[in-house]
Amino acid sequence: MTMFGRKRLCCAVVLILCGISAQASAGDAEGEKPTSSPVFNKFSCFPFNKQALYDFEVSAAGVRVNNLNIANGKEFITDSPTLALSAAVANRSEVNVSVSVEVVGMSGGSPVFALSGNIPFGYIAPDKNDEIKSAVVVSKDTLTSAETLCIRVSGYRKKG
């Protein structure tokens, strides 16, 4: 094995060990109480149309996620077709809240696209509004092929 090959192998091992270590430290230690609690964790599927997407809302404990939108677009540099997800988030609670939205477009029982987005910087502060944004490169006409949308919206806050 060449010196370059050994360095690459060593780097790969270090990255794997760092990933394992991060996963282990992210898990709760036995007997340790979780430091966050769910505000909501809603999963819903419905026939896809723009009005149903616009009407979709999750609201609990002073936190609201609404005004979801999925739109066709173009990637800035390559002009590749994209799908962009956006959603509004309002936090009227007294603590920071992390929120994420996942969307899967389905056709005939099979997925045709998947989008996932979360709040910038990982949380939204009390008494603030923010927007979730995300985009993925897709094939042309991907959005129009979706018959059903499945959406999961989750929100967590630090236990007080």
DSSP track, 142-156: HHHH--EEEEEEEEE
Amino acid at 135: A
Contact between 52 and 58 under an 8 Å Cβ cutoff? The reply is no
Q: Determine the pLDDT at residue 8.
A: 40
Q: Which domain holds residue 154?
A: 36-158
Q: Determine the pLDDT at residue 101.
A: 96
Helices (H) and strands (E) in the chain, counts: 3, 8
Q: How many domains does the chain have?
A: 1
Round to whole Å and give the CA distance between 71 and 142. Answer: 11
Answer whether residue 140 is part of any domain: yes
pTM, two decimal places: 0.74
CATH code, domain with 111? 2.60.40
Answer whether residue 22 is part of any domain: no
Round to whole Å and give the CA distance between 153 and 116. Answer: 10
Round to whole Å and give the CA distance between 34 and 148. Answer: 35
Round to whole Å and give the CA distance between 118 and 133. Answer: 7
Phi, psi of 77 (to 5 degrees): -85, -45
pLDDT tens digits, the chain, 160 residues: what are they? 444 333 343 333 333 333 333 333 344 445 555 566 777 888 999 999 989 999 999 999 999 999 999 999 998 899 999 999 999 999 999 999 999 999 999 999 999 999 999 998 889 999 999 999 999 999 988 999 999 999 999 999 876 6
Q: Determine the pLDDT at residue 39.
A: 79
Please identify which residue in the block is written with the tokens 């985009």. Answer: 135
pLDDT digits (tens, 9 = 90+) for 2-46: 443 333 433 333 333 333 333 333 444 455 555 667 778 889 999
Answer whether residue 101 is part of any domain: yes
Write out the H or E segment, with its range, that includes residue 11: helix 3-26
Q: Determine the pLDDT at residue 38.
A: 75
Q: Determine the pLDDT at residue 14.
A: 32
Answer whether residue 21 is part of any domain: no
Beta bridge mates, 132: 87
Answer whether residue 20 is part of any domain: no
Beta bridge mates, 128: 91
